[in-house]
Amino acid sequence: MGPTSVKPVSDGLYYGDYLQLGKLLDAQKLESTKTGETVHDEMLFIVVHQAYELWFKQIIWEIDSILELFGKDVVDERDMRTAVSRLRRVSKIQELLITQVGVLESMTPLDFLDFRDLLFPASGFQSAQFRIVENKLGLRPEDRLLLGGAGYTARFNDDDAALVTSLEADPSLFAVVERWLERTPFLDHGDFRFWDAYKHAVHERINADRSVVENNPNLGDEEKRIQLGEFDQVLKQYEAIFDSEKHELERQAGRLRLSHRAFQAALFITLYRDEPALQEAFRLIELLMDIDEGFTAWRYRHAQMALRMIGRRVGTGGSAGAKYLEKSAERSRVFGDLFSLTTFLVPRADRPTLPAGILDSMRFRFEE
């Protein structure tokens, strides 16, 4: 038999061409090499940060697709699974971002010092893509820390600054999710008013807990006074759920961000997450919290890595280094309201029983 016929590589799409490997693998230009003394670990530094930028690009791609789905007047139920799947993908990418910090830490602080001075004034603060991610999620300018007394775009070139700033006015993931929550049905049905029933359940629960404290023989008068005062504070927090004007005061004070209607809907979904029609909605809320928490964890991890690498030195971009990153992690949550929902939950046994009409509308079943 003759030799096996092999299709020439010139026919059809070639792996390296499809992935543009020629450009990709030639994109690592070491500053140390330009000085005539190549520093080995600078290659790792470049590759890790280029990988970050590729993952940021993918995150932007996923968020943009969700913005398109949720930007409609009515979100098709069939699109919910798609949105949940893509948010879960973003969450998985975040796990990689955090893991990559460990790869970078395989370079010792002394190794980093061998080429660090060559990087001035470039720094990660000039990652336009990461700022785009933040803006698309819904981080507001007023939520950001000043960088050396200047705004967050001060270290960008003119083109990047214009691009990032232009996105501040675009609909964010926070904004489209807020509108989606505001359209949540099920809260009123006929004569049934859910929030009146829920307010009664909350008061019943708090009064029951107060009674336990008041009748506890092991507590002194001062201890009882303190604990009963705490119940009063909890009740004031609950009042913001039921009173739109009090909720608005909480928003103005910066303690809440979602509209009253959206916050109520998110709480309703969380309370009745087991109902079939609300399960995907609850998964979406959970994933938004996962993503918020994921970027917070990444920022803290990055701060610890910076502390390990440069101590309390000033960062390459002129920031306060690790200290700035730690503060930024605390200030950069977008979906903080969703984390506060657990404050307002009651046990399942205390939840208002929903009318049959509402329960029927939230179930999936086939009947002849």
| Interval 109-143: pLDDT, tens | 999 999 999 998 888 889 999 999 999 999 999 88
Q: What does residue 147 show for φ and ψ, rounded to 5 degrees? A: -110, 105
| Angle 285-94-302 from CA coordinates, rounded to 5° | 120
Q: What does residue 188 show for φ and ψ, rounded to 5 degrees? A: -130, 140
The pLDDT value given to residue 54 = 98
The pLDDT value given to residue 289 = 97
Q: Please name the fold of domain 40-361.
A: Methane Monooxygenase Hydroxylase; Chain G, domain 1 (1.20.58)
- Closest C-alpha to 321, from 299, 306, 309, 331: 306
Distances, alpha carbon 14 to alpha carbons 18, 22, 23, 123, 161, in Å: 6, 12, 15, 36, 37
The pLDDT value given to residue 358 = 82
Provide the pLDDT confidence category of residue 154 given band limits of 50, 70 and 90. Answer: confident
What is the C-alpha separation between 368 and 356, in angstroms, rounded?
A: 19
pLDDT one-digit tens code per residue, 225-245: 888 888 877 777 778 888 899
| pTM of the complete model | 0.87
Compute the Cα dihedral for 293, 295, 301, 306 and give only its sign.
negative
Distances, alpha carbon 219 to alpha carbons 62, 205, 232, 300, in Å: 55, 20, 18, 41
For 334, other C-beta atoms within 10 Å of its C-beta total 22
Per domain, the residue ranges of the chain are 40-361
The pLDDT value given to residue 7 = 60
Provide the pLDDT confidence category of residue 320 given band limits of 50, 70 and 90. Answer: low
What is the C-alpha separation between 282 and 275, in angstroms, rounded?
A: 10
Cβ-defined contacts of 240-245 (< 8 Å, 24+): 241/195, 241/198, 241/267, 241/344, 242/195, 242/199
Cβ-defined contacts of 192-197 (< 8 Å, 24+): 192/354, 192/355, 192/358, 194/268, 194/352, 194/354, 195/241, 195/242, 195/264, 197/352
The pLDDT value given to residue 326 = 77
Has residue 95 got a pLDDT over 90? yes
Cβ-defined contacts of 2-10 (< 8 Å, 24+): none
Has residue 5 got a pLDDT over 70? no
Compute the Cα dihedral for 262, 88, 341, 248 and give only its sign.
negative
Has residue 315 got a pLDDT over 70? no
What is the C-alpha separation between 195 and 175, in angstroms, rounded?
A: 24
Secondary structure E strands in the chain: 188-189, 192-193
Q: What's the whole-number average pLDDT of the chain? A: 88
